[in-house]
Amino acid sequence: MAVGAAGDGKRPTTVDLKFDGDTGEPIWTAQNDNVMGGVSKGDAVIRGGLLHFTGSLSFENNGGFAQVRICDLAYDLTGKKGVRMKIMGDGRTYQFRIATDARHRGSRIAYSAEFPTKAGEWAEVVVAFADLKPSHRGKKLDGPPADLSQVEELSLFIGDKREGAFSLAVDWIRTEP
């Protein structure tokens, strides 16, 4: 697993996540709707060379989302077109998200774009950085645009307004030149 290559010796300028169990592999942590009283469950497990993002969404207590993320990054992805991922899903729609140093009312702005999956089928999906839309706690924002020189977090998110189990397997995530 390579977290990224540094372009100027300061910040990595590429993402190359392979989920091979390397000791330098970033740790994926869950952030689910329990932060606002919900009861959805989601977690990330790296097994067999894959990242498995699994769980169950519930609308109980106004919930309905799950997310796994790697934080405390310092990427400069300026000039990159987006990310390419090899995934196998369950027919549900997921989001790829980044967070930068941008804040709204003191907390991070999420920049996201959706990608569909086909149940039980491997596919390569591309998420263009130009398609990322800003939001804050589920509310769409008019801006600011994502500053790709200040990427602090990468995440996978599900909040497709459907209750029940979900499962996304990821073989790799790479930046597109």
pLDDT in tens, 3-20: 555 555 589 999 999 999
Whose CA is closest to 151, among 67, 69, 72?
Answer: 72
- Confidence category of residue 22, pLDDT binned at 50, 70, 90: confident
Residue 81 confidence (pLDDT): 98
pLDDT digits (tens, 9 = 90+) for 87-146: 999 999 999 999 999 999 999 999 999 999 999 999 999 999 999 999 998 899 999 999
Judge contact between 57 and 65, C-beta under 8 A.
yes
Residue 25 is predicted with a pLDDT of 85
Nearest Cα to Cα of residue 170 among 119, 115, 111, 123:
123
Q: What is the pLDDT of residue 9?
A: 57
Q: Is the pLDDT of residue 70 over 50?
A: yes
Q: What is the DSSP letter of 105?
A: T
Q: Among 43, 37, 105, which Cα is nearest to 69's?
A: 43
Query: For all residues of the chain together, what is the average pLDDT?
Result: 93
The fraction of the chain above a pLDDT of 90, given in percent, is 88
Instruction: Say what the pLDDT of residue 96 is.
Output: 98
Whole-angstrom Cα distance, residue 145 to residue 173? 22
Per domain, the residue ranges of the chain are: 16-176
Q: Would you place residue 1 in the very low, low, confident or very high pLDDT band (cuts 50, 70, 90)?
A: very low
Q: State the amino acid at position 172 in one-letter form.
A: W
> How far lies 148's CA from each of 76, 79, 100, 102, 126, in Å?
6, 8, 7, 11, 17
Q: Is residue 151 over pLDDT 50?
A: yes
Check: CB of residue 80 under 8 Å from CB of residue 149. no
Instruction: Please check the confidence at residue 150 and state whether its pLDDT lies above 90.
Output: yes
Confirm or reject CATH 3.40.30.10 for domain 16-176, answering yes or no. no
Please give the Cα distance from 177 to 165 (Å, whole number). Answer: 34
Q: For the whole prediction, is pTM greater than 0.85? A: yes
